[in-house]
Amino acid sequence: MEKEVLKSFKNLTPSSIFLSKSENKLESLIKIGFPNRNSENWKYTKLSKLFKSNFNDPKSPSLKVYPKSKLPSTSTSTIVVENGKINTHLTCLDNIDGLEVALFSESGIELASKIDHTVSNYEDAFTYLNGYLLNEGINIKVKKHIKISQPLHIVNVVTKSCVAVNSRLNIELEECAELTVLQSFISENSSSSFVNHVTEAHISENANLHIDKLQDYQNNYNIVSEYINQKSNSSFTINTFSYSGLLIRNGLNIDVNGQNCHTELNGVFTVSENDYIDNHTLVNHLEPNCQSHENYKGIIEDEGIGVFNGKVIVHKDAQKIQAYQNNNNILLSDYSKVFAKPELEIFADDVKCSHGSTTGQLDEEALFYLQSRGVGLGTAQKLLLEGFIAEIADKISCEKFKEYVLGKLI
Amino acid sequence: MSNTIIKINNLRCEVEGQEILKGLNLDVKKGEIHAIMGPNGSGKSTLSSVLAGKEEYEVTSGTVDFLGNDLLELSPEERSWEGLFLAFQYPVEIPGVSNVNFLRTALNERNKFLEKDQISAKDFLAMVKEKAALVGLNNKLKNRSVNEGFSGGEKKRNEIFQMAMLEPKLSILDETDSGLDIDALKIVSDGVNQLKSEKTATIVITHYQRLLDYIVPDFVHVLSDGKIIKSGDKSLALELEEKGYDWLKSDI
Ligand SMILES: Nc1ncnc2c1ncn2[C@@H]1O[C@H](COP(=O)(O)OP(=O)(O)O)[C@@H](O)[C@H]1O
Ligand SMILES: [Mg+2]
């Protein structure tokens, strides 16, 4: 059984990081096994290729220069994680009052009580795998009442082919703390590698976390599992921009565990060639008087496949919830596909919820209009696609990040 | 140099297998204003779409010469770069695309085609200010998404604003007057008249004579069932106003 489950990962060394409790994770993984086509949440996800691979342990960081052309040129504190480990040469972290950054490998028991709280509400095979094989984890803590004005950029780069990288980010915001994280997942001279990442965030009362996330993993596999826990009066926003990857899957799980919370999930996925990009989101409204807003836009061309599955659960006593969900997709070729499923499960009676999804082509009338004014066809298409994602790009906190994201559209 | 801006010769076109234009002829020379009138469904918008290069209209025969170019061979953007402009009867709304930014892109793509310099941000803004004033386009509308949430009248003004920005050689105004109240009609017509020059020409499509009190045509043509069935001077428009179109139809 164990052998069968771990077939693709048999060459990999279990994590020696104390915090990741690798033995327990393996046990849990073997107990539930990996999802397959019969697992409701994974039925479109083409995992077969991933499981046919035979991954190796990642190599130590070796990049000497910052991969500028693949990243937004932010002039902000940057942590570079290369093949799962910190690249100390490229990491540049300002000393900021109230911000603490620690590595799992260098932390002891005191951090153990802070992690896995939200993760353990969910049983997820890839998250267990991540714990079993963890290369390194970063813990970021912002202390009470500290508002970090400068965004923190965390670059996760894979620079080796056919390796499996298991990385983790833990964010802890104390009361009234504020933080913006830019997260870039990219590859450099790598193909057929697998980056399996887990983010867990705990947002205390009145705290505010904003994440802008970029994924550009041409010819590689990437699964990101995110577990967010919000306390009352807190705010959480995540904007996910996914550009390429043999398989990209984002599993975003948010427990809204307090009143008067604001939760916002936005995303853009552009899928081309034979790529597959999948966004699964779950917002769990456990307490009353909260708002959540979700908006994802897909642009699919060639033989790409996009998936959007957004689920909102409003629990029994969570009255006066406002939950809005929207998904729009544009198919640019006859062979591109999208599977869209917005879902609402409401167990409270006094709520305002809406959800909707549309899939269509680029508006021919609008294209002709722009062309007739002298905008060339290619530029007109780009303008329309930019217009299509504009309301989401406008949510990006950092201007450089936004420029980069818009520049990557076709 | 020839004085002809556009010469349409025996133009026939189909949409979805149905013939709409059935052998249309029209010559427009520099400095002229032509009015095309005709009942609903006679093919006026089809003619403007075909001239602007809309794909779904299939030209089955005929030729169109535009300033020495074979117009029908050009893409819609090339037609614009050569100096053709169509003010749409129903301008589309384009969410997320800025009303002025796209114009700057358009001007720069045209300048590139004409091997001219790119327009500087400063010159562009000065031009926007001047032309917006010309058509009384509300400041707020300049920075919004193209036509999004504009009223009917605002959309028409925006068309004339864009025309002013692009400085075309031939402007085709497809029912720019419909949906305009009398004040807006005056402003739009003033704009068109101010842009008029000896080197450019205008085709005004309308089915009301009202507009022609403000934009005075040199020629009036009646389009019916895909053909021009009568041409005359501006008095023809007054006659049509009085008698309707039926007296002409019974002529043929
Ligand atoms: N895209 C189209 N598809 C099908 N029929 C069309 C289309 N465009 C125009 N037509 C038909 O062509 C005829 C002329 O229409 P149109 O050019 O809009 O007339 P006008 O502008 O003079 O009112 C009408 O019978 C109309 O139904
Ligand atoms: Mg019409």
B82-103 pLDDT, tens per residue? 999 999 999 999 999 999 999 9
**What kind and span of H or E run contains A152?**
strand A152-158
Is pLDDT above 80 for B252? no
Q: Compute, in angstroms, the gap from residue B43 CA to the centroid of ligand 1.
A: 6
User: CB-based contacts of A171: which residues, under 8 Å, 6+ apart?
Assistant: A140, A141, A179, A181, A199, A200, A201, A202, A209
Judged by DSSP in three states, A26 sits in helix
**What kind and span of H or E run contains A225?**
strand A208-230
| Amino acid at the residue A146 | I
pLDDT at B23: 96
| Two structure tokens written together for A337 | 């596909």
- For residue B80, which residues of chain A lie inside 8 Å, CB to CB? 371-374
Cα–Cα distances (Å) from B45 to A241, A276, B25, B41, in that order, read: 42, 43, 16, 8
Is pLDDT above 70 for B197? yes
Instruction: Report domain extents, chain A.
Output: 2-258, 364-410
Structural contact between residues B109 and A379, judged by C-beta atoms closer than 8 angstroms: yes
ipTM value of the model? 0.96
Average pLDDT over residues B171-175: 95
Distance CA A40, CA A44 (A): 9
Judged by DSSP in three states, A395 sits in coil
- For residue A380, which residues of chain B lie inside 8 Å, CB to CB? 77
pLDDT at A121: 86
pLDDT digits over B209-227, tens only?
888 999 999 999 999 999 9
pLDDT at A388: 94
Q: Which ligand is nearest the CA of B54, by number?
A: 1
pLDDT at B76: 98
Q: Compare CB distances from B102 to A383, A388, A391 and report the shortest one's residue.
A: A383
Structural contact between residues B17 and B57, judged by C-beta atoms closer than 8 angstroms: no
Residues on A contacting B at a C-beta cutoff of 8 Å: 363, 365-366, 368-377, 379-380, 383-384, 386-391
Give the position of tokens 């005004």. B204
Task: pLDDT band for B246, please (50, 70, 90 cuts).
Answer: confident
Q: Which of A303, A307, A319, A312 is nearest to A259 (CA)?
A: A319
Distance CA A347, CA B26 (A): 69
pLDDT at B192: 87
| Two structure tokens written together for A31 | 């107990």
Q: CB distance B106–A391 less than 8 Å?
A: no
Residue closest by Cα to atom 5 of ligand 1: B15
Task: Work out the minimum CA distance from A305 to partner chain B, whole angstroms.
Answer: 25
- For residue A406, which residues of chain B lie inside 8 Å, CB to CB? none
- Helices B152-166, B101-113: inter-axial angle, 10-degree rounding: 30
Distance CA B203, CA B34 (A): 5
Q: Which of A367, A388, A216 is nearest to A296 (CA)?
A: A388
Residue closest by Cα to atom 26 of ligand 1: B41
Pick the residue of B102, B110, B112 with the most A CBs within 10 A to test the interface with A by mutation: B102
Q: What is the DSSP letter of B93?
A: P
pLDDT at A313: 97
Spell out, as residue ranges, where chain A has pLDDT lower than 70: 1-3, 410
Q: pTM value?
A: 0.90
- For residue A360, which residues of chain B lie inside 8 Å, CB to CB? none
CA angle B44, A363, A242 (to 5 degrees): 165
pLDDT digits over B45-77, tens only?
999 999 999 999 999 999 999 999 999 999 999
Q: Give the residue from chain A lying closest to B53, CA to CA.
A: A372
pLDDT at B138: 82
Is pLDDT above 60 for B1? no
Q: Compute, in angstroms, the gap from residue B139 CA to the centroid of ligand 2.
A: 29
Average pLDDT over residues B30-46: 95
